[in-house]
Amino acid sequence: MPALKRWTIILSILDVIFLLAGIFVIVISFIWKGMLSRPVPLNGEVFLRLAVSELILDAGIVFAGGVFMTVLISLWPLTTKPTKDNEATKPVVIYIGSLLITSLITMSIGTTIWFYTLREKAEFLPVWQAQSSTTQVFIQDTLSCCGWFNATTEGLFDSNLQTGFCQDPSSLPVNVDPNVHIGCEQGFIKKVDYILNNIFSTIYGFMVIQFLMLLAAATVGNLRIQEKRFLRIDYKSLGHKGGFV
């Protein structure tokens, strides 16, 4: 199989994979937007519900839009071929440009979420405070903790939370390890950190696909230049010597 045809097929396959990634992201984004429009659930989904935000989901939709734009542009270079007079590299260059723009969007989204994970304690304190007592009690019972920092008023614990696991906080054993806290902060942050890490790791994973697409597109462009040269040689040979293969 000629190198140009082989690399064009590789680029097509990567294009399909990238399209599937965009479809996956936009579907998940709209599903999670629906989740955010409903009351906070009192089940295992509560941590996902509180970890993601409209901003993250809007960023996912922007990313998907960039993917669809890039895939649409890719139809131009994939459906053109070099001739003796035109190497047809312009479609490839424009396609590479769209890939670079989408890559910048992807990197920006992933890096923004990563920076957000560095400030989780500050970012999720207001989230905890905004929840109803019912939701806070459910989190306390799930994580076996009391209050946000600890089971005191200063630790964001009050009489409304004094039920279930925290019915009698004074009876709970005190851990001798100073790094272990009775408050929910550590357990809650661990849960949402796992979710956010998976999100930005997945986004960075998409960049691997984009890098491979850039490599394949650049190779296709270079091979098209070579193909044009060979076609011109063949054309001149046909005109003067009867042609050769």
- Work out the average pLDDT over 90-118: 92
- Contact status, residue 184 vs residue 139, Cβ threshold 8 Å: yes
Burial 155-185 (b: 16+ CB within 10 A, else e): bbbeeebbeebbeebeeeeeeeeeeebbbbb
Domain spans of the chain? 3-131+192-240
Write the pLDDT tens digit of every residue in 45-82: 999 999 999 999 999 999 999 999 999 999 988 888 76
Write the pLDDT tens digit of every residue in 144-181: 899 998 888 888 888 899 988 888 877 776 654 544 45
Lowest mean pLDDT among 22-31, 210-219, 235-244: 235-244
What is the predicted pLDDT for the residue at 245? 40
Average pLDDT in the chain: 86
Percentage of the chain exceeding pLDDT 70: 85
Write the pLDDT tens digit of every residue in 79-92: 887 655 555 678 88
Task: Identify the three-state secondary structure at position 60.
Answer: helix
What is the predicted pLDDT for the residue at 227? 67
Task: Identify the three-state secondary structure at position 238.
Answer: helix
- Work out the average pLDDT over 195-206: 94
**DSSP annotation of 39:** P
Residue type for 6, please? R
Q: Report residue 20's pLDDT band, with 50, 70 and 90 as the boundaries.
A: very high
**DSSP annotation of 173:** P
- Work out the average pLDDT over 29-56: 94
